[in-house]
């Protein structure tokens, strides 16, 4: 879909056509989260009630630096481009930028792989203040207009914006009118001020309601959404067409799938002294285990994504149970740097929680290790026999060359037959042990296949 030119009804019609046909009338959206809304997590939450997701926030300037030969930026950008393509569609990529040139340059690199490009106008963190992006572009509205106008004119995919509100309602409404006039197709409104960092205070849903009444394009509500029931209430009150929640979704990836889960607030999600039932504590660890399944299938660009997710998911359990040693092991031990290591730590955590699935998981992990070892040994035997066969064939001076070649050829054929029996069947043999894992057959095939 080409971005429609600014101008009232035509823009609104194009925006709603994109909303309905491309985004499929979403209600629950995975927000852009730095290091934490990568393809594996997006796929996880989309399998549990989320309609579509945003990529993590990416720095537009790095795309220019990568093309200028900056090695670190090249690695980062390659990871970002991989992540944009690795998950399902639809997906919107979010960028932070401080100039129109930066934003458009990066967006053109991403537009073949995504269904929209979002400008971050809401990040309130100190790094954004230092660089001048995110919510700190609210101090330079002409620049915001220049970035969005140029992007809407030059990009082949729709442009959206995620904002925070001003202290004055009239200023906020003028702000969203200006953004709409630039030609954007969607506005996400976080109902807090720029100064309200770290979830300080409550979002102002009345301002979001006023924004919905002011613009003619889709509006997404954001801020303190902590359950599916709460999300539906916010949409009903504000008239917003969808909602997104970051903190609650990180702690509860099945937030929009579980309608019978206890009602909570973001304050409770952050409470290190939260009192959890045994079932709730085990459920948090279960979610971490499920995330590792997705991370095996869709590898995140950097391992810190995996570490951050596992820690976010199990931290309430660890603090509620007083397991600070496990928290240090999961969060601060850089020697824990593989999915397999995290699985064993989670098994240990299940054991300490006296979870009935613990023994089953131990058996399954041991079976995986044994099968992988058998497969590698078979593969090594084939390679060694093949090498000996090649050497015997080349040694024409040997009187037993013909016999050696015949013997080794027979050995290679035998080992190839054995290997072919071991390799493809590992998943099928272990499948009964992995009934508790979704799509485990695909995970094993992908994760344990020899190069």
Residue 185, classed as helix, strand or coil, is coil
Confirm if 95 and 57 have CB atoms less than 8 A apart: yes
Distance, in Å, from the CA atom of 226 to the CA atom of 246, rounded to the nearest integer, reads 9
CA dihedral (442, 448, 450, 451) in degrees, to 10, reads: 70
For residue 53, count other CB atoms closer than 10 A to its CB: 28
Residue 25 corresponds to which tokens in the numbers above?
């009338």
The values of phi and psi at residue 302, to 5°, are -135, 150
Tell me the C-alpha to C-alpha distance, in Å, between residue 410 and each of 2, 115, 235, 399, 419.
62, 55, 70, 19, 14
Distance, in Å, from the CA atom of 162 to the CA atom of 135, rounded to the nearest integer, reads 9
Q: Which residues pair with 52 in a beta bridge?
A: 29
| Alpha carbon of residue 413 to chain centroid | 45
Cis peptide before 247 (omega within 30 of 0): no
Catalytic, out of 30, 61, 123, 358: 123
Within 8 A by CB and 6+ apart from 182, the residues are 6, 145, 148, 149, 152, 159
68: buried, middle or exposed (CB in 10 Å: 19+, 13-18, 0-12)? Answer: exposed
Q: Where are the beta strands (DSSP E) in 9-51?
A: 28-30
Q: Where are the beta strands (DSSP E) in 183-332?
A: 186-193, 219-222, 242-244
Would you call 123 a catalytic residue per the annotation? Answer: yes
451: buried, middle or exposed (CB in 10 Å: 19+, 13-18, 0-12)? Answer: exposed
Q: Which residues are catalytic?
A: 123
């Amino acid at each position: 879909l080409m971005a429609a030119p600014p101008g009232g009804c035509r823009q609104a019609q194009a925006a709603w056509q994109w909303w309905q046909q491309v985004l499929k009338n979403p209600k629950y959206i995975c927000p852009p989260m730095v290091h934490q809304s990568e393809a594996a997590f997006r796929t996880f939450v989309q399998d549990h009630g989320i309609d579509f997701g945003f990529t993590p926030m990416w720095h537009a300037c790095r795309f220019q630096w990568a093309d200028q030969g900056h090695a670190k930026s090249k690695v980062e950008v390659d990871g970002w481009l991989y992540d944009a393509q690795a998950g399902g569609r639809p997906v919107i990529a979010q960028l932070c930028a401080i100039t129109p040139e930066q934003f458009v340059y990066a967006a053109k690199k991403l537009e073949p792989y995504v269904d929209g490009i979002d400008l971050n106008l809401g990040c309130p963190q100190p790094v954004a203040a230092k660089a001048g992006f995110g919510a700190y572009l609210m101090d330079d509205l002409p620049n915001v207009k220049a970035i969005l106008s140029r992007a809407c004119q030059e990009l082949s995919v729709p442009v959206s914006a995620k904002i925070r509100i001003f202290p004055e309602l009239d200023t906020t409404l003028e702000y969203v009118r200006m953004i709409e006039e630039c030609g954007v197709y969607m506005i996400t409104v976080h109902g807090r001020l720029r100064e309200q960092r770290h979830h300080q205070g409550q979002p102002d849903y009345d301002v979001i309601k006023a924004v919905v009444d002011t613009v003619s394009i889709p509006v997404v509500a954001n801020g303190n959404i902590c359950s599916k029931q709460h999300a539906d209430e916010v949409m009903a009150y504000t008239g917003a067409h969808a909602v997104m929640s970051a903190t609650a979704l990180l702690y509860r990836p099945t937030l929009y799938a579980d309608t019978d889960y206890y009602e909570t607030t973001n304050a409770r999600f952050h409470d290190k002294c939260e009192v959890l039932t045994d079932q709730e504590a085990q459920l948090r660890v279960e979610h971490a285990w499920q995330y590792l399944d997705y991370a095996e299938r869709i590898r995140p660009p950097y391992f810190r994504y995996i570490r951050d997710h596992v820690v976010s998911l199990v931290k309430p359990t660890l603090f509620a149970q007083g397991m600070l040693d496990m928290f240090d092991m999961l969060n601060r031990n850089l020697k824990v740097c593989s999915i397999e290591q995290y699985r064993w730590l989670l098994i240990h955590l299940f054991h300490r929680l006296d979870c009935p699935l613990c023994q089953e998981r131990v058996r399954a992990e041991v079976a995986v290790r044994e099968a992988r070892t058998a497969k590698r040994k078979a593969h090594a035997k084939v390679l060694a026999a093949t090498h000996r066969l090649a050497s015997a064939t080349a040694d024409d001076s040997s009187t037993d060359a013909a016999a050696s070649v015949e013997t080794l050829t027979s050995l290679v054929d035998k080992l190839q037959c054995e290997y072919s029996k071991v390799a493809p069947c590992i998943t099928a043999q272990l499948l009964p042990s992995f009934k508790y894992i979704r799509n485990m057959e695909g995970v094993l095939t992908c994760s344990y296949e020899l190069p």
